[in-house]
Structure 1
Amino acid sequence: MTEFSHDHIIPFKESGKSKKEQVAEMFDRIAPRYDLTNRVLSGRTDVAWRKKAIRMLKKYEPQLLLDIATGTGDLALRACKMLEPQHVTGVDISAQMLEVGRQKIAREGLSDKITLEQGDSENLQFENNRFDAAMAAFGVRNFEHLEKGLSEMHRVLKPGGQLLIIEFSRPRPGIFKGLYQLYMNVVAPQIAGFLKQNKEAYQYLNQSARAFPERRDFTAILEKTGFSNARYRTLTFGICCVYTAEK
């Protein structure tokens, strides 16, 4: 199985724990203010990205959805409201992120439609061919082994099932790319610190986003792990990509 440079980027460089353990610890630490920080850092653009991505699934009318690296359940909630499926299952490695997510889901009165479970996205505890669609927003770059996680998503999808992944990407050379790098490298960690979030965590998220294989490189990985018709669409000057594929 191929290793990628972002597989080895870890949140806490002095820690002897595995990437998977460190990622869980990192998200447990930042869970209470994670949603607020995301909204501030992105100017709520991340909300628009999720809406645009989920619209791409609408024509398939998926009834059983899987949300990988669900975090606080933002994508699961948005999909439930926009697609009106039978059920959405969210999986995440961080217990504290899931607790925040369950509270949000309960406030929306959707606890009977969305279930959040703690688990390892690279070793899913679901049978083969279970879900109509599998989704992930800003989570697959946190996999310890990218191809293993993608293969698991492929395994649990029904034949003809749809894959939807949202990830950061790097803008093409130009003025905006310079501004983007300044924001990600300097401004965002300072904002995270001001909001009493862990600066190390947001520096890791920036570094892992920069190292992640993007656009055609990532669609090639999707096809290598068994998906077909892999495509991408850039959003907001190329700082985000929505990837789609099918089993």
Structure 2
Amino acid sequence: MAKKEAVKGIFNDIAPSYDRLNHFLSMNIDKRWRRVAIKRIAEQEKGRLLDVACGTGDFSIAAVRGGVQQVVGIDISEKMLEIGRRKIMGMGLQEKITLQYGDSERMEFPDQDFDVITVAFGVRNFEHLEWGLKEMHRVLKKGGKVIILEFSMPEHFPMKQLYRFYFKHILPVLGGWVSGNKGAYTYLPESVSRFPQGKEFLEILSRCGFQQPSQKKLTFGIASLYTAHK
């Protein structure tokens, strides 16, 4: 099975428990990471935002609360999108946020359509990473910014050892028990360990046309915030 279809199946399956597990397994640190990312959106970039791999819309909602005027979120998991739309309706934000099915590697948007593009914990799921990044570059306005939040592996003792143990032995058990899909939470640490991190990912951003790529490590390196410009 192609990676894209496998990822779609995983997230459709765990959609009902995704939000609850996300916050529980990260001890709500994921909310703080999103706030840090939102602060990177400058005032002139708060017009129109594309949230790639938007899932259930947490980052889209945070962006609007942070002052962004219009958000379009895309994802390949229809069940995640359904949950996100219900959340947005319940908050009365449907005039500012639109969630729709969309493939990061084949976006149905014109060139230079967005002021800023975000991806929160989804870029490692791209089947063809550089295709997705080049599409993001294409639909981003000149002078616009890309903001990418992604898990990473700590590099220093003792967090490196503790985190690897948690990722390999604790997270799959807890995630599988609550969601009923242990495979999904086995995929998570595997996908993080395979993803190009730090300098390697910054070089990929440059190859895809982005300028001034930078990385900020968050919470001992458990996550990384990457930014770049067009």
When the two structures are superposed, what TM-score results if normalisation uses the length of structure 1? 0.91
* Partner amino acid, structure 2, of 1:124: M
Q: What CA deviation, in whole Å up to 9, does each residue of 1:64-100 have, x standing for no partner?
A: 00000000001110001012x2210000000000000
Question: Is 1:25 paired with 2:14?
Answer: no
- Taking only the aligned residue pairs, the percentage that are identical comes to 48
Cα offset, 1:58, TM superposition: 3.4
| Partner SS for 2:22 | helix
Distance 1:81 1:93 in 2: 24
Question: Is 1:157 paired with 2:140?
Answer: yes
Q: Which sections of structure 1, spanning at least 5 residues, go unmatched? A: 1-16
Query: What's the counterpart of residue 182 of structure 1?
Result: 165
Cα offset, 1:157, TM superposition: 0.3
| Partner SS for 1:161 | strand
Cα offset, 1:59, TM superposition: 4.1
Match of 2:47 among 63, 66, 86: 63
When the two structures are superposed, what TM-score results if normalisation uses the length of structure 2? 0.98
| Paired residues of 2:49 and 2:70 also in contact (CA < 8 A) | yes
> Which deviates the most, 164-173 or 57-66?
57-66
| Paired residues of 1:122 and 1:152 also in contact (CA < 8 A) | yes
| Paired residues of 2:176 and 2:183 also in contact (CA < 8 A) | no
Distance 2:217 2:229 in 1: 19
Question: Number of aligned pairs?
Answer: 230
Question: Is 1:38 paired with 2:22?
Answer: yes
Distance 1:23 1:32 in 2: 16
Question: Is 1:73 paired with 2:73?
Answer: no
Cα offset, 1:137, TM superposition: 0.4
| Paired residues of 1:64 and 1:131 also in contact (CA < 8 A) | yes
Q: Which sections of structure 2, spanning at least 5 residues, go unmatched? A: none
* Partner amino acid, structure 1, of 2:221: G
Distance 1:172 1:186 in 2: 19
| Paired residues of 2:45 and 2:144 also in contact (CA < 8 A) | no
Distance 1:132 1:194 in 2: 41
Question: Is 1:119 paired with 2:80?
Answer: no
Tell me the C-alpha RMSD between the 2 structures.
0.9
* Partner amino acid, structure 2, of 1:39: H
Question: Is 1:49 paired with 2:33?
Answer: yes
Cα offset, 1:202, TM superposition: 1.0
* Partner amino acid, structure 1, of 2:28: R
* Partner amino acid, structure 2, of 1:155: R
Give runs of ≥4 in structure 1 deviating > 6 Å: none
Q: What CA deviation, in whole Å up to 9, does each residue of 1:38-66 have, x standing for no partner?
A: 11100000010000111011344420000
Cα offset, 1:176, TM superposition: 1.1
* Partner amino acid, structure 1, of 2:42: K
